[in-house]
Amino acid sequence: MTETTHVARGRIVLTGAAGSLARDIIPYLRDRGYEVLCLDQAEPADPMGCEWVIASIQDRDRLREAFAGCAAVVHLAGIPLEASWEEIARTNIDGTESVLEAARAVGVPKAVLASSIHAAGFTPVPHRGETLPDDVPARPNTFYGVSKAAVEALGSLYADRHGMDVVCLRIASRFSTPQNERMLSTWLSPADAGRLFDAALSNAAGGFRIVWGVSRNTRSYFSREGGRSIGFHPEDDAEAYAHDLPADAAGAAQGSEWDQRCIGGVFCSPEPPMFSRQA
């Protein structure tokens, strides 16, 4: 197994803390000794016992103030589905630059960035028995996917130019349970999401790396090398839910043809899932 070094768990700041992924990982991180400062432009439904800063990631002054003294920033804030180029560019690309620049300015040494499988969504599903490396080249399927490729590029820049320790997590399908046949390969369970972020935060190997965010699914076609290199050891397997999928999930469900062709599934179709503020 690859050697990993771990740093002490201290005060971290987490953007997008009112979102659904954050609700899975914050309690997990707190249980493991992190002090989590939460930042979001929206008020949280549940503050989860944390200190909160209500601010936009566009507000550079507030970011620098909030980030000062933190050991790491976990950056989740963003638009998580397809949207107009203007919205995606402003929130996901400009917003990530704003977060990394604030972290650099106040000396935060580490950043864990939420990337996505859709940064490489048009990558063909590999043949049985083959796996895709964590850093398979970007092949975005949407403006959203382009923004996640840009998140990775920004992370690489801040690692190389400024010596920041940056881990980009290519999260696949983070749901409470697998929703369709594709997710028997791509699922990331809530508990494994907690393990993934804990590993990314506590590993002190430094530099820049890209790691798949996927559970240890029997049908996974993702390399686990990057995960091992940061000490991420997923425990859940989507196969346990294979018999519970709705009858139409394996066949007629929207996007099944795309699911078989490309790792980004229905996001590769002419009508990818769109972000809605009401959703």
Ligand X SMILES: NC(=O)c1ccc[n+]([C@@H]2O[C@H](COP(=O)([O-])OP(=O)(O)OC[C@H]3O[C@@H](n4cnc5c(N)ncnc54)[C@H](O)[C@@H]3O)[C@@H](O)[C@H]2O)c1
Active site residues: 144
Tell whether residue 91 is a contact of ligand X (CB under 6 A): yes
Tell whether residue 131 is a contact of ligand X (CB under 6 A): no
Provide the greatest CA pair distance for the chain.
Answer: 53
Tell whether residue 56 is a contact of ligand X (CB under 6 A): yes
Binding piece for ligand X, criterion CB under 6 A, among 157-165, 170-178, 198-206, 220-228:
170-178
Tell whether residue 99 is a contact of ligand X (CB under 6 A): no
Tell whether residue 74 is a contact of ligand X (CB under 6 A): no
- How far is the C-alpha of 36 from the C-alpha of 10, rounded, in Å? 8
In whole angstroms, how close is the CB of 20 to ligand X at the nearest point? 4
Tell whether residue 18 is a contact of ligand X (CB under 6 A): yes
Return the number of the residue (6 or 52) whose C-beta is nearest ligand X.
Answer: 52
Tell whether residue 223 is a contact of ligand X (CB under 6 A): no
Strands (DSSP E) contained in 153-217 are 165-171, 173-174, 187-188, 208-213
Asked if 38 contacts 30 with a C-beta cutoff of 8 angstroms, the reply is no
* Nearest of 46, 42, 54 to residue 30 by alpha carbon: 46
With a CB cutoff of 8 Å and minimum separation 6, the contacts of 60 are 98, 101, 102
Candidates 13, 77, 125, 138; binder of ligand X (CB under 6 A) is 77
Task: Give the DSSP H/E element, type plus range, for residue 113.
Answer: strand 110-116
- How far is the C-alpha of 260 from the C-alpha of 96, rounded, in Å? 32
Binding piece for ligand X, criterion CB under 6 A, among 51-59, 66-74, 125-133, 228-236:
51-59
Tell whether residue 110 is a contact of ligand X (CB under 6 A): no
Candidates 6, 32, 48, 58; binder of ligand X (CB under 6 A) is 58
- How far is the C-alpha of 64 from the C-alpha of 266, rounded, in Å? 38
Chain positions contacting ligand X, by CB under 6 A: 16, 18-22, 40-42, 56-58, 76-78, 80, 91, 95, 114, 116, 171, 173-174
